[in-house]
Amino acid sequence: MPTAKTGGDYGIKKRAGEQTMDYSRILVFGAHPDDELTMAPTMAMLAERGVEVYICISTNGSEGYPKQEWKDEIVSLRAQEQADADAIIGTRERICIGADDMGLTNDKATFKEFIRVVRQVRPDVVFTHGPHDMHRDHLNTHALSIEAVWQAANPVSMELGEQWRTPYIFYYKGVADRQPDIVLDVRNWAHVRPLTQATQRTQLTLWNTTDEKLQAEANRLRNSEAPYTNTFWFYDRTHLSYLPGLGE
Ligand SMILES: [Zn+2]
C-alpha cells in the first residue's frame, strides 16, 4: 500500500534505503538568479543520472548590486554567474523571463510567458517557490508558475504551444506553516551548494561570505559522509489517485 510520502504516485521511489526522484525532465522556477541554488545538490544529482534539468528565472537580478558602481553591469555580471553555476549543476537549459528585479508583475503578458515555458519544456515535475515569503518577486513567481502549470494543460492560447499536463508540483522554499513532505538525502552532491554559491560573485556580500569560505565548505562536504538533505513540500492542491491509508 502506498504511503503519502513515498508512494509511486509522486514519482518518488525508495531504492536501497534512499529516496530518489524518478523523472526524465524537471523544470525549476526561481524568481532571481540564485534562488534555485537552494536545490542545487538535487539538480546536480538528477542531471548526473540523465534527467534533463531546465531552470526558468523570472527576473534579471538588476537590483542585486551591493556596490553602486556595479549598477550598470550587474545584469551582465549575473548572466555570467548563472552560466558558471549551470556548468556545475549540469543544467540542460536556463530560460530567462527577463522581468526587472523587484518588478515582476502578475499581468497577462507575463503569465502567458510562463505558460509558454511550461508547454515548451513539458516537464514531469515543476519545482517552485511556496506561498510564504516577503519578496514580491518570490510571491509573484509562486502565483504565476502554479497557475501556468494549470492553464498550460487547458486548450487555450494555443500559439503558446501544445497543451501539457505537468503531473507534479513541489515547493523547494517558501513554506512556513508545515514540515517538509520530502526529505531527500543528497549527501554525495552536498558540495554543489557552496560551489554554485561561489559562482555568484556579486552576491557574496549579501550572503556575508567569501569565495575562500565557500570553497572550504565545499571541500569539507566532499569529504563528509554525514547526511545532507534538500527538502520539498507538496503543492497545496496535490492530486491523489487514492486515499492514503485506505486500501491498495
Ligand atoms: Zn530571490
If one counts the domains in the chain, the total is 1
Residue-wise pLDDT tens digits, 196-246: 999 999 999 999 999 999 999 999 999 999 999 999 999 977 766 666 566
| 6 falls within a domain | no
What's the gap in Å between 247 CA and the centre of ligand 1? 42
| 130 falls within a domain | yes
| 113 falls within a domain | yes
What's the gap in Å between 197 CA and the centre of ligand 1? 13
| 241 falls within a domain | no
Distances (CA, A) of 203 to 71, 102, 142, 219: 13, 16, 23, 21
What's the gap in Å between 242 CA and the centre of ligand 1? 36
Residue 75, number of CB atoms within 10 A of its CB? 18
| 222 falls within a domain | yes
CATH code for the domain of 45:
3.40.50.10320
| 240 falls within a domain | no
| 15 falls within a domain | no
| 13 falls within a domain | no
Q: Which three cell numbers stand for residue 166?
A: 505537468
pLDDT of 9 higher than 80:
no
Task: Give me the domain span that covers residue 99.
Answer: 21-64+73-234
Q: How much is the pLDDT for 51?
A: 95
